[in-house]
């Protein structure tokens, strides 16, 4: 369901993925800790959200993190879980937005654990963006899209430099079909996929781009 874990190259601890039965959870073991990352859909009912949470196998070294959209009171009480935000950084917002020039803030990104906290600290970087992509689509291009394009470009360039670049020429090509048309078709498909994937005002840009390259093709 779109959950990703980014591991810093300087992380000094071994990292392994832990199999999970739920499609909404991604679990990894980092050193001696089990980190379970969740993505609970905004449209998910409280009952379904609690069912996902209840399905997580809890050991004595588990931290659950998510952008929660449901009431967790009964679950935290029944499973003896602690909401880390409440203990270590109470009343610190994890979501900030503006509507009609009025600031709207809330605490929806939570860390929950069954460990006893000793000399623990929680730093919430309020100087960074505290928006929520799935509740309010961003008006501009996401940085992760730029990183994806750059990564793909690097892969293609390294493959071309190492094994060469030979234009495809399948046997069923018509006589009029050539490498120029193939490139135009590929560019058209690329623009369509970008339009389908982005959100916010960028969808207008990529739809116009798609129509233009479709006409050129």
CATH of the domain at 20: 3.60.10.10
Cα–Cα distance between 28 and 3 in angstroms, integer?
12
Give the model confidence (pLDDT) of 90-108 as tens digits: 877 776 666 666 666 777 7
Lowest mean pLDDT among 1-10, 11-20, 38-47, 71-80: 71-80
Tell me if 195 is assigned to some domain.
Answer: yes
Instruction: Return mean pLDDT, the chain.
Output: 78
User: Residues 21, 89: one domain?
Assistant: yes
User: Residues 105, 184: one domain?
Assistant: no
> Percent of the chain at pLDDT above 90?
8
Angle at CA of residue 88, ends 87 and 89, nearest 5°:
105
Q: Is the pLDDT of residue 207 over 70?
A: yes
Tell me if 9 is assigned to some domain.
Answer: no
Give the model confidence (pLDDT) of 73-88 as tens digits: 666 666 677 888 877 8
Tell me if 86 is assigned to some domain.
Answer: yes
Domain stop point among 113, 134, 158: 113
Tell me if 52 is assigned to some domain.
Answer: yes
User: Residues 109, 147: one domain?
Assistant: no
User: Residues 98, 45: one domain?
Assistant: yes
Number of domains in the chain: 2
Tell me if 100 is assigned to some domain.
Answer: yes
User: Residues 37, 106: one domain?
Assistant: yes
The domain of 27 spans 15-113
> Percent of the chain at pLDDT above 70?
75
Q: Is the pLDDT of residue 28 over 90?
A: yes
User: Residues 103, 21: one domain?
Assistant: yes
More confident residue, 132 or 21: 21
């Amino acid at each position: 369901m779109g959950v990703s874990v980014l591991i810093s190259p300087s992380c000094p601890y071994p990292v392994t993925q832990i199999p999970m039965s739920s499609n909404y959870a991604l679990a990894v073991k980092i050193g001696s800790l089990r980190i379970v990352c969740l993505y609970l859909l905004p449209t998910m009912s409280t009952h379904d959200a609690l069912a996902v949470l209840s399905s997580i196998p809890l050991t004595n070294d588990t931290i659950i993190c998510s952008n929660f959209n449901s009431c967790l009171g009964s679950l935290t009480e029944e499973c003896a879980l602690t909401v880390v935000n409440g203990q270590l950084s109470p009343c610190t917002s994890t979501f900030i937005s503006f509507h009609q020039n009025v600031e709207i803030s809330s605490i929806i990104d939570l860390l929950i654990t069954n460990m006893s906290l000793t000399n623990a600290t929680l730093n919430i970087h309020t100087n960074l963006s505290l928006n929520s992509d799935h509740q309010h689509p961003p008006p501009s291009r996401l940085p992760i899209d730029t990183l994806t394009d750059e990564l793909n470009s690097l892969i293609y360039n390294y493959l071309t430099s190492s094994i060469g670049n030979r234009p495809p020429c399948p046997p069923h090509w018509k006589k009029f079909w050539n490498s120029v048309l193939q490139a135009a078709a590929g560019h058209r498909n690329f623009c369509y996929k970008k339009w389908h994937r982005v959100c916010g005002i960028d969808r207008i840009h990529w739809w116009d781009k798609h129509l233009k390259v479709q006409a050129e093709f």
